[in-house]
Structures are given as C-alpha cells and as structure tokens.
Structure 1
Amino acid sequence: MARQNLDVSALEARIGHIFADSGLIAAALTHVSAANGSRRETYQRLEFLGDRVLGLVISEMLYEAFPLAEEGELSRRLADLVRKESCAEVALEWGVQAFIRLGDSERQTGAAKTAILGDICESIIGAIFLDAGYAPARAIVRGAFEARMRSPRRPLRDPKTSLQEWAQARGLPTPVYRETARSGPDHAPEFSIAVEVLGYEPAEAKGFAKRVAEQAAAADFIAREGIDQGGHKGVA
C-alpha cells in the first residue's frame, strides 16, 4: 500500500493506536475519489472489515452490559450504536477531518459528510484489526463506544414496553390498562385510558384508538416518575 505523507501521529494519539504498518492508516483515510488507479489503496475494503469487527465488539459489550435484555432490545441497541451517524461522531472525536484524503470531486464538502466520516471510523477499526489483531481493535471500540452504549441518544423501546420492563425489574406486577371513559361519535370515539402500577398513582391519557391512548398513558407515567426510556435495565 502507498504510505501516507501526512504526519498522522496526532491522529494516532487521539485514536490510541500507533500503526506498525503506516500503509494501513493511509488507506483507511483515503476516499475512492483520491485513488491513484487502485481501489485497494482506499478505505472501501477496510470499511467492510471494520464494520464486522465493530458489530462483533458492540454485540459482546451489549451482551455483557445488559444481562436481562432480550434479543430484540439487544438488536435495537446494536443498530443504534453502529449506524453511520454514531460512527461519524466517533470519527469527529478522533479528529479525522484534517487527515482525510479526497479527490477534487469531494474536496469541497466531502470531509464533513456523515457517510464518509462513518465509513472512515469503520475503516480505521478494520486497519487496527489488520495491524495488531482483535484485542487492540476491541479496546479501541470499547473506549470509543462505551459511553454511547450507556447513554443512548434515542428511545429504544415504546413507552408500554419501557414501563413493563421497568416494573418487572422491580418485581412489580405487569401494568394494567383500564378504559375510564369514552366520548365522541361511534365512528370516531375518543378513549380515556389509565395505566395502573402497584404502589403508584395511575396515569391517564386520551387517544382516538385504545392502543394510542395506552401508549400515551404509559408515556405520561414514565415522564412523571422520571423513568429513563432509553433504558438502562441490567447495567452493572
């Protein structure tokens, strides 16, 4: 592989890995638009590899951190952590922007594109894996994604599921939803639904479908009690 002319020591320090093979980090930072006739010297293949390494490490982290979570929740958490936006944030934290090699067609705006930043995050992980093996790559991923795993940016479950799991984690019975009132014409009724959790005041909400009202009641209960809908069930 072609060697990187730009001094990447500052980037290596931020990432936490010094490359024995400088050609790997050079390729990991090279967009296909800057290829000199060979796509093998770009990040495309490394991004493919890094994506798989990232998925394996994150899956292991989730399995360890959330022992009570079922497969569906683990899958949602995994998808949230490995999406391009999350990887792009990590790339920005590493400060890769100044080191990306772009062709003329991409130079004006390409370095700031989420897709490119996300790809480069994964390509760097793939490059570390090839340079030093799984253990160093695993350590880098854990360092970069641990806080994100503990504090997801988006709700991972719907309000009813969140409330049910919250109650179960505390040894409480499953929340009960009761229709307390119905109004409006027969063809478009509005339902009032109360959710009851043992030991807590009920929360009530309205909706033009029972399912909608139940979700709204659960959401109101969650907001009132300060329950984290992002979910930290099973966190050590």
Structure 2
Amino acid sequence: MRIRIVDAFTDRPFSGNPAGVLLLDAFPDDARLGNIALEVNHAETAFAHPLPGGGEADWALRWFTPATEVAMCGHATLATAHVLHSTGAHQGPVRFATRSGVLIATPHEDGSITLDFPTAPLTPVDVPAGLAEALGAEPRSALDTGPNVGDLLVELADEQTVLDLAPDFRALTRHSERGVIATALAADPSHGYDFVSRCFFPNVGIDEDPVTGSAHTALAPFWSERLGRAGLTGRQASRRSGLVRTEVRGERTLLTGRAVTVIEGELLA
C-alpha cells in the first residue's frame, strides 16, 4: 500500500501543512484508519478510493487526525488532489464524496489547485469568559463558524499580536468544538497577503495546525465583508507558514494553493 507525505498550501518542501495520503481500493475498518493516522502523526491523513462511474462523485475521501476523524479538511484534500493528478490516477477536476458533501478540486496549468468548499456560516457570539487568558490576548470580537468547521473565530488587535500568541492549549479546549482561529488584518498588504491567522486545535490532538484550509472558509467571508473584496490572500503564520488564496462566491468559498510531494513509500503493516 503506497503512502505519500505531501506539503500543502506551499510550493516548497518542508513548509505549508504536511498530510499523509493513501489511495485505496476500499476503506478498511475505522480502527485501522485511525491507527495509520496515528502512525503518520501529521495533522491529517487522507484516505481515498475510486467510486463507480456515473455518480455524483469520483472518489470517496475521509480525513483522520492522530486522535479522531474530522468532518472537513482543506489541506489534506489539496494534498489528495495533488497526488491524483501528479500520479495520473485522475485527470481534470475531481469530485470527492465526503462528510461535508461533494467537494471539487480543480487543477490549473500553473500547478495550483482550487478547492470548492462550503462557506462557513458566521454567527457573532460573546467572547467566552477566560478565553483571553487562555489565548494570551484580548479578542476584539468572536464568531461561531458552524458545524462543519466547529471553531471559534476571534479577531485580535493586529498582526503582531497574532504572531506573538503563546496559548495555554489545555485551557483552550473549553472554548470550542474543534479549536480557535485567531486572525488580524495584515500589517502591510504589499507583502502579498491581506490577513494573517493562526489555528489552535487541541480538542482534536493538534495544538497548532500549520495551514488550515477549512478555517479559511470562515476567514474568507469574515475578511471579504470587512475589506469589500471577494478575492483575498491569507497567510497562516505558523512556524511552517503557508498562503491560501480565497474567493467567496455566496454559499461556496474557493481555496487555491499548491502542493509538493516530499516522501513516498510503502505501508507494510
């Protein structure tokens, strides 16, 4: 069984967000999927298998963190689409059947891939008591991102505040289903991005996710409304860092990025 490690939302190895990708004939039992994801020990491992022709989707796709299965994952979807196209397993746009509905990944001639994901519904909420202490900064506002994403989105004062965060991850687990997205306006848009973010998901075994596609389905509508533009670029400012180009189209959000395969091998167990 071939296994690949792909860095997503980057054009350089050892940056962006690494994901394990396995193309299968069918899904094994959930315990085996979970054990493989735990062994890979990246934020997500994606498992995909082809579906019969003539249906609404081409491949079935599931995502597992080292601790649990998740309902949506952008970077591992991008990584899977990259593997399908780079190996010739699929040509052109690919439709994935997932827990979040049918998600489409479209390759471009320049090597980038665009994901078509549902836009996260944003609901303003009160900043939870204790969140500022857990995060290490005082939020300006907070929004619930709905069931597919399951995060609390908080706006902070400025980019430097986001960069300087050193959260208490154990304390953060009390404040959302999956985690907390911290964001601020870019200090200098001439650097090539419009907003900055960091994502903390201790509830699913990921203290800080390097680059989170699903979070950008919430970040994109939040900042598009603020800035009055449908198309934006976000920088997720983790240690590995990465860029996500976003475009809000009503109930759908397009996420565009690149990916690089860095490891390919054989799963023996």
The normalised TM-score by structure 2 is: 0.23
